[in-house]
Structure 1
């Protein structure tokens, strides 16, 4: 075998090595993307879990949400607590919206969070909150809420706090 033939054979072997490396890198990137999605979903779930744990352990906050379920206008400390809780919830959802736009959370996680917000915005006090505080959120997210979430009715049979 001549030196030229050995050189050609070496090029072929090197090409296989490059292809194998590219396949390996593609698999690693896919695994990394999956791990990042899981981590992101876990963080969002943790944020929601913290909020709902607070709600479950604080009777006063639970009473605020019951009142917000049937009253269109809230006053004093009740209004402040409802607006704060709602602002926190919408910040988490806005974060999820931005992550979904970047394809960083799964469709299943996104649809569950979306349904939660669709049901939540059906509380009697939500329109007053939205008019008063929506400017705290990004213009893009406000447009999404106005066109996709606010017009969507809650699922049939959903019980809003304070409505029963």
Structure 2
């Protein structure tokens, strides 16, 4: 066996090593992506739990706002931050879906919930003042939902 043959064998072994390394890395990247997606969903679930807890702790205020009666300055402030909180949460979902980090079925369920939220008392006034606080694509989506609801 001469040096050329040994060099050729070394190249083949090196090439196989590169292929094995790429295969291993692809498995690691896929696993890492799954973990990142799960962490993203977990974070969104924790956000949803915080909103639910906030709403449960303030159920009396939500009931007062929902009846449409006379609201105190504190009730109006509460309503403002309730809308802001829900829309920030909605924007997070929207962008997670746009980035492909949320399945269509999860987004559709949440989108239906958000569309029904748009009909809540005081939302229109809030949106007219604060729409520019959100990203353009999310704002466009909300505006489309408002238009669609207005046409029904």
Alignment: residue pair count: 149
Question: How do 1:1-150 and structure 2 match up within 5 A?
Answer: 1-67=1-67, 71=68, 76-147=73-144, 149-150=145-146
> Deviations along 1:96-123, whole A, 9 cap, x unmatched?
2223332233333323322221121122
Q: Please give the root-mean-square deviation of Cα atoms over the aligned residues, in Å.
A: 2.3
Which TM-score applies when normalising by structure 2? 0.84
Asked whether the 8 Å contact 1:134–1:142 carries over to 2, the reply is yes
Instruction: Compute the displacement of 1:52 (Å).
Output: 1.0
Which TM-score applies when normalising by structure 1? 0.78
Structure 2 stretches lacking a partner, 5+ long: none
Asked whether the 8 Å contact 1:37–1:106 carries over to 2, the reply is no
> Deviations along 1:17-75, whole A, 9 cap, x unmatched?
111111111111111111111111111111111111121232323314523xxx49966
Instruction: Compute the displacement of 1:83 (Å).
Output: 1.3
Asked whether the 8 Å contact 1:55–1:62 carries over to 2, the reply is yes
- Name the CA shift for 1:14/1:73 in 2 (closer, same or farther; >3 Å): farther
Would you tell me which structure has more helix in proportion to its own residues? 2
